[in-house]
């Protein structure tokens, strides 16, 4: 039995002992959006909206308790805070688990992906972020929104790559309208269950503990009711416009192409249609990817980013034309070569089954550094 399974087993035994003791009920300690029950030692529960300060609350909980498992049931919140929490979870070898009656959506999914072992029995969901103002505060300028979204895209992809996140997750995150809840097959692809197949059966004991926290007992429910509804219901997500989706597509493609070759070449195929007018020549997707692979092998270190003030997006029905100026910096240590400059980049995107694919790509170099 591995360390995680032993921790869950010890937690369950402690829970049974406390619950069966005369006049005894598990004591609950709140750490920001986290809840700790002494009936579940080495287990911490994320049950509220992720807010500023929760990273430090997690650190406080970790100083007070030897946390081995984080049970995640949150409808999201602060992206930056969630990424910091995910890093702490990953760096400390903590496993993550979405319980049967739980919902881990939006920013919570980043925390889940940070688990060195992870499994979801409940609902796990991601959604597209896009450049614009927060709900109710009006739209921000395109330049400001793009800069913020570009930074966030880079942060998200950079963090998730460290956690061995399957590339298909990026496509769902950057291209799907509204909230996408993973199917059972998709959950199996994102799960990491190491060493011991018993982890699933032992997780059932954690379900019992989780149920006691959100159940009708005076100890659990009353203390966490303000941070978690009895029946988690996904909050409606504003549906981004075609223009906003096209902007997210543009940013995500540049961020992915700036990743190391294993990640970049694995995911880049998701961007292209089966046939592409590629710089004036009609090519199959396979031929386009061959060109991309040759370029990536020649220039293994790349950094691409969009000049925000240059972007123009025009959409109608299911297609968008996107114009931008790209700053690029590429190098090859093996060849002792370096190249940098600015280029125009013109894309035609066609939405098929709600997902964009490139059907036309062209551009030219403006300047070299």
Q: How far is CA 150 from CA 138, 209, 327, 339, 347, in A?
A: 20, 40, 13, 22, 18
What is the model's pTM? 0.59
Could you read off the pLDDT of 202-251 as tens digits, one per residue? Answer: 566 677 767 776 663 333 333 332 333 343 444 444 566 788 778 878 87
> Residue 319's beta-bridge partner residues?
316, 350
Which one, of 230, 231, 203, lies nearest residue 217 by Cα? 230
Domains defined along the chain, listed by start: 3-128+176-224 (3.90.226), 242-368 (3.10.450.50)
Give the span between the Cα atoms of 109 and 52, in whole angstroms: 17
pLDDT confidence of residue 346? 95
Better pLDDT: 311 or 194 = 311
Q: Average per-residue pLDDT in the chain?
A: 77
Structure tokens at 164: 């061995």
pLDDT confidence of residue 134? 39
Give the span between the Cα atoms of 48 and 50, in whole angstroms: 6
pLDDT confidence of residue 221? 34
Better pLDDT: 296 or 179 = 296
Give the span between the Cα atoms of 22 and 19, in whole angstroms: 8
315 three-class SS: strand
DSSP letter assigned to residue 117? S
pLDDT confidence of residue 28? 80
Question: Can you tell me the mean pLDDT for 95-110?
Answer: 90
270 three-class SS: helix
The burial of 367, by beta-carbon neighbours within 10 Å (0-12 exposed, 13-18 middle, 19 or more buried), is given as: exposed
CA angle 330, 333, 336 (to 5 degrees): 90
Better pLDDT: 17 or 157 = 157
Task: Tell me the CB-side half-sphere exposure of residue 58, using CA atoms within 13 A.
Answer: 30
Could you read off the pLDDT of 21-77 as tens digits, one per residue? Answer: 334 456 788 899 998 887 777 889 998 889 989 999 999 999 999 998 999 988 888
Residues of the chain with pLDDT > 90, as a percent, come to 34
Residue with the two structure tokens 């199996």: 188
Could you read off the pLDDT of 308-362 as tens digits, one per residue? Answer: 788 898 999 889 999 999 999 999 999 999 999 999 999 999 987 778 899 999 9
Q: How far is CA 317 from CA 1, 242, 252, 322, 350, in A?
A: 55, 8, 22, 14, 9
End-to-end Cα spacing for the chain: 58
């Amino acid at each position: 039995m591995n360390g995680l399974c032993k921790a869950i087993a010890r937690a369950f035994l402690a829970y049974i002992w406390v619950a069966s003791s005369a006049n005894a009920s598990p004591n609950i300690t709140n750490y920001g959006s986290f809840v700790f029950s002494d009936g579940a030692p080495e287990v911490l529960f994320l049950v509220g909206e992720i807010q500023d300060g929760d990273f430090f609350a997690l650190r406080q909980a970790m100083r007070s308790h030897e946390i081995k498992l984080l049970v995640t049931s949150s409808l999201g919140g602060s992206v930056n805070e969630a990424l910091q929490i995910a890093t702490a979870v990953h760096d400390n070898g903590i496993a993550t688990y979405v319980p049967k009656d739980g919902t881990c959506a939006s920013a919570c999914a980043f925390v889940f992906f940070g688990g060195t072992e992870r499994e979801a029995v409940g609902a796990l969901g991601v959604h597209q972020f896009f450049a614009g103002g927060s709900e109710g505060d009006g739209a921000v300028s395109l330049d400001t929104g793009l800069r913020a979204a570009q930074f966030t895209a880079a942060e998200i992809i950079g963090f998730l790559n460290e956690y061995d996140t399957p590339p298909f997750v990026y496509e769902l995150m950057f291209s799907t309208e509204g909230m996408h809840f993973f199917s059972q097959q998709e959950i199996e692809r994102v799960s990491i269950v190491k060493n011991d197949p018993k982890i699933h059966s032992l997780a059932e004991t954690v379900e019992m503990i989780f149920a006691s926290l959100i159940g009708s007992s005076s100890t659990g429910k009353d203390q966490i009711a303000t941070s978690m509804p009895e029946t988690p219901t996904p909050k409606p997500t504003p549906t981004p416009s075609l223009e906003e989706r096209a902007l997210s597509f543009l940013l995500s493609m540049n961020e992915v192409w700036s990743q190391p070759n294993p990640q970049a070449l694995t995911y880049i195929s998701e961007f292209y249609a089966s046939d592409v007018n590629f710089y004036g020549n009609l090519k199959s997707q396979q031929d386009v990817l061959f060109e991309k692979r040759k370029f990536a092998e020649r220039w293994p270190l790349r950094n691409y980013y969009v000049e925000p003030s240059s972007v123009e997006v025009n959409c109608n029905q299911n297609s968008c034309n996107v114009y931008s100026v790209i700053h690029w910096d590429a190098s090859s240590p093996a060849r002792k070569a370096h190249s940098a400059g600015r280029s125009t980049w013109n894309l035609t995107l066609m939405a098929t089954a709600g997902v964009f694919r490139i059907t036309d790509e062209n551009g030219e170099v403006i300047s070299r550094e």
